[in-house]
Structure 1
Amino acid sequence: MSTSESNLFPLVGLQAVANAHNEWVAVSFHVPQQAQGALLAALCAADVYAHLAPLDCIIPVGEPHLDEATLAQLLPQLVPQRTIFRLSTTAASNQHMQQRCLQWRDAGYRIVLDGPGAGPVTAAQVDARALGIDASAELPGLQHLMSLPGPHLAYNIADSASLAAVCALGASWFAGDYALHGARRDSEAEQGTSRRRLLALLGLLARDADVQELEVPLKQDPALAYHLLKLVNSAAFGFTATITSFNQAITLLGRRQLQRWLQLLLYARQQDDGKLNALLPLAAVRAAQMESLCQLRGGDRAAQDLAFMTGVFSLLDILLGMDMADIIATLNLDPAVSAALLGRSGELGAMLALAESGATPASASLARAGVDGKTYWRSLLQAYQWAITVSRNI
């Protein structure tokens, strides 16, 4: 692919969809309105379903997204049993589309009906078993969801209050930025203790401390120690003998991999209600995408490590409930990492801003990071693949 062709590669965004336990169950595709063929080009550029396995893929259909002609071209690239069409109510009112939906159902596809007027009557016309709910708009009545089996998908969820509202309504699949704006439930004393331990561990990681030093804060935090040993004994690594100590883990994993997993384990502690921490896979996506972008741009191993660390640490202010400047002040980070975290400046800052764009990547962000569309798409798929592995093994 030439430079000019690569720059024209259409941008397709991805957004994770989680269940009530903050476990990822699907990935929603965001397709530019002005580029009907964007998703086809993206699917043809990589084995998307392999990268996102075992999650379902949610694809928007109908105005202002994919029209029927484009979708017909797209179908050969799709895996029916893992594909959900999010169908607009405008498209669902078309009799020809209603016939198509019955054919898709017979082929194994599922349909979520989304838009004004969506309800049991309109859902029956296209054999939709679930509704899409825009949490940023007026919510539908409870009766619209009760007669449909679901799972109902709520999206554009901005915060914990919005999440609670769609949960009460009956939604069980969720997408949005609510993880970045959730309410902390820890007591002040617990927050203080947790912060000190986490910051101590972060400081040790930043200065490449030896394993004996790393063991101290880990032993003081049983949850982190548990998750580390659970991780290294998981199927993700395939070790035949049970690993029972940090020394064993370092020997088998290697220090570089251990440090990366430890950085992610900072997000692994469960919430008061027993749910997984919704920030964990988000941190994994940012870290892995930044590493991938750095690698695809020709960065060496040291540069990739800094990129990975920047992505992981970019959510520490939310995790700890502290200003990023106060966190940085306690750590001995590389100046480039600090500059990226504090002001999104420098090369790492440009890549971090791009990784933060999530479902809506902008051409200007790509240009600032020196990344073309195809490179961005490859890095995004690799990041999601890594995050899915992390979420299922920590």
Structure 2
Amino acid sequence: MPGTEPVFVYPLLGADDSWSGYRIEFATTAPDSETLFRLFSSPRLDTFDQRHPWFLPAVSGGYDAGTLTGRSVTVFPAHPKPEDTEALSQLEAALRAQGRQLGLKASPEHKLPSPGGWDCLLVDCGHARSLPPYTLIGMASRTKLVATNVHTHNDRNWILSNACILSTCEFLQTRSAPNTKADITRLKLLKLLTLIADDADTDCLDSIFREEPKLAYSLLRLVNSAALSPGSPITSFNQAINLLGRRQLQRWLQLLVFSDPNNGQHPNPLLQKAAARGHLFEFLAGQLTPPSSVENLADSAFMVGTFSLLDVLLGMSMPEIMRQLPLPEVTRTALLEHKGSLGELLAAVTAIDKHDLNTASARLAALGIDADNFFEAQLEGYGWASKIHTT
């Protein structure tokens, strides 16, 4: 029987802001080894870049990492529970003997290990910033550094300057600075979103792109992503309508608002986060219990997932945004109140972003989503979003 304890996947950003690794986390109680083996044997894992590491938490007694075995880094706590100490020590010795990649989760209460003692060191950003100058740079000579709990853009810049090659993405939930989208004003973005939400005709949408050539360029760059484009490049808005169809094009337009034309030669992690959310919601929408009676459920789910990050993008409160967007009532209720099945799913995903995994587990269980379905949905969402390129 499928396990009910979910496993949570978090992308890790490389120095160039692209997804360059993934971290697995459990709620308080780890899923059983049989469930983990089944999840980690998913064929969807083969679609991810084989060069990217997957950081898996060490569990007393160990478990088979399945498809991830060759690219996994088993992460040990600096101070395990007394009842787990001996078992984790034995597991560490066995993995070292096999030549497997090992990581240590640093703790402020314990001295950092010597460089080279572990393949990877995961260090909380607050802890890292309290260390003496150049400590991390010295450590990085023989150990790969991964920063966790990176909550601000300032933190992100600091860890990149101090030799951390990967970091978690909490800072994406905050705005970096005001007026970072001066070239595409809030008014222009909201006008485009209003037309999309109001199912405007092609001519109305086309007029926006004629007024803003950079928007048209961004759209064409987005839909011509290497892994997603049709046989020949799309070179105009009308061609995009004809080849993709209005329904698919509207999804790209929803993602377009997260694309910054002034930053076209650099990965945009907020765009990929929005894309992953949209696809995750779409994948799970038909599996929610009780079943939703919402018309065009998949489209509504995708919109809730992507638009749930508009407040971050625009630097505006969600109620203020909703006052200017004529969205369907089910979408508004989900985004504003986290009510209805899509709203409850959004509440679960919000808890995941806050690392409140016990609450997230309970909310997913209440929606009838078990470990297997949720793990596959995460892989589907992250795998799809990782193939979107804006260069």
The structure-2 alpha-carbon separation of the partners of 1:282 and 1:346, relative to structure 1 and needing over 3 Å to count, comes to: same
1:206 aligns to what?
197
Shift of 1:23: 0.7
Q: Structure 1 CA distance, aligned partners of 2:377 and 2:178?
A: 34
**1:270–1:277: 8 Å Cα contact kept in structure 2?**
no
- Counterpart in the other structure of 1:363: 361
Mapped partners of 1:59, 1:289: distance in 2:
22
The residue that corresponds to 1:31 in the other structure is 26
SS at match of 1:243: coil
Asked if the contact 1:104–1:110 (Cα under 8 Å) also holds between the matched residues in 2, the reply is: no
Work out which of the residue numbers 42, 47, 59 in structure 1 matches 2:43.
47
Q: Is the 8 A contact 2:311 2:318 kept in 1?
A: yes
Which runs of no fewer than 5 residues in structure 1 stay unpaired?
none
Structure 2 residue 358 is matched with structure 1 residue 352: no
Distance 1:171 1:144, change over 3 A: closer
Output the CA distance in 2 between the equivalents of 1:317 and 1:153.
28
Structure 2 CA distance for aligned equivalents of residues 124 and 171 of structure 1: 15
Change (3 A) 1:45 1:143: closer
Q: Is the Cα contact below 8 Å between 2:153 and 2:171 reproduced in 1?
A: yes
Partner of 2:71: 82
Specify the SS of the correspondent of 1:173. Answer: strand
1:279, distance to aligned residue in structure 2 (A): 1.5
Distance 2:135 2:373 in 1: 45
Change (3 A) 1:13 1:212: same
Contact persistence 1:281–1:387 (CA under 8 A)? yes
Q: Deviations over 1:288-324 (max 9, x none)?
A: 1111111234668711101110111111111011121
**Counterpart-to-counterpart distance in 1, 2:361 and 2:89:** 38
CA contact (8 A) 1:211 1:246 kept: no
Query: In 1, distance between residues paired with 2:266 and 2:196?
Result: 27
Matched residue, 2:7: 12
Cα deviation, residue 277, structure 1: 3.1
Q: What's the % identity of the aligned pairs?
A: 28
Offset of residue 162 of structure 1? 2.7
Equivalent in 216, 226, 230 of residue 235 of structure 1: 226
Listed as ranges, the matches of 1:191-202 within 5 Å are 194-202=185-193
Distance in 1 (alpha carbons) for counterparts of 2:240 and 2:9: 33
- Structure-2 change in CA distance of 1:213 and 1:270 (3 Å): closer
From the superposition, tell whether residues 21 and 282 of structure 1 become closer, same or farther in structure 2 (CA, over 3 Å): same
Asked if 1:60 corresponds to 2:57, the answer is yes
Q: 1:209 offset after TM fit, Å?
A: 1.4
Contact 2:44 2:376 in 1 (8 A): no
From the superposition, tell whether residues 220 and 174 of structure 1 become closer, same or farther in structure 2 (CA, over 3 Å): farther
Q: Which runs of structure 2 are paired with 1:133-152 in the superposition (5 Å)? A: 133-137=123-127, 139-141=130-132, 142-147=134-139, 148-152=141-145
Q: Describe the shift of the 1:270–1:114 C-alpha distance in structure 2 as closer, same or farther (beyond 3 A).
A: farther
Q: CA RMSD of the aligned region, Å?
A: 3.0
Q: CA deviation at 1:24?
A: 0.5
Instruction: Quote the Cα distance in structure 1 between the aligned partners of 2:326 and 2:207.
Output: 18
Contact kept? 2:45, 2:68, Cα under 8 Å: yes
3-state SS in 2 of match to 1:258 = helix
Residue 334 (structure 1) shift:
0.3
Partner of 1:129: 119
Q: Which residue of 2 aligns with 1:292?
A: 283
Count of residue pairs the alignment pairs up: 372
Give the AA of the match of 1:157: V
Q: Which residue number in structure 1 is paired with residue 305 of structure 2?
A: 311
Q: Secondary structure at the match of 1:251?
A: helix
CA distance in 2, matches of 1:70, 1:23: 31
| Residue 260, structure 1, aligned to residue 257, structure 2 | no
Whole-angstrom distance in 2 between the partners of 1:273 and 1:238: 18
Q: Contact 1:86–1:111 (CA<8 Å) still a contact in 2?
A: yes
TM-score (norm 1): 0.83
Q: Deviations over 1:250-284 (max 9, x none)?
A: 11111111111111111111677975333112211
| Matches of 2:333 and 2:116, distance apart in 1 | 54
- Deviation digits for residues 170-202 of structure 1, max 9, x if unmatched? 2121104111123224269x27x5211111110
Q: What is the Cα deviation at residue 89 of structure 1?
A: 3.5
How far apart in 2 are the matches of 1:226 and 1:111? 44
- What's the TM-score once normalised by structure 2's chain length? 0.84
More displaced 10-residue stretch of structure 1: 147-156 or 83-92: 83-92
Distance 1:273 1:294 in 2: 32
Structure 2 CA distance for partners of 1:273 and 1:333, relative to 1, 3 Å: closer
- The amino acid across from 1:35 in the alignment is A
CA contact (8 A) 1:119 1:144 kept: no
**Contact 1:267/1:280 (CA < 8 Å) preserved in 2?**
yes
Residues 128-186 of structure 1, C-alpha deviations (whole Å, 9 max, x = no match) = 23321112446444324424345410011122233233233321211041111232242
Which residue identity lines up with residue 78 of structure 2 in the other structure?
T
Distance in 2 of aligned mates of 1:313 and 1:95: 46
The answer on whether the counterparts of 1:14 and 1:27 sit within 8 Å (CA) in structure 2 is yes
Superposition deviation, residue 367 in structure 1: 4.0
Question: Counterpart of 2:383?
Answer: 385
Larger deviation: 332-341 or 205-214?
A: 205-214
Q: CA separation of 1:113/1:342 partners in 2, compared to 1, >3 Å: closer, same or farther? A: same
19-28 or 95-104: bigger deviation = 95-104
Moved more, 274-283 or 209-218: 274-283
The separation in 1 between residues aligned to 2:257 and 2:38, in whole angstroms, is 33
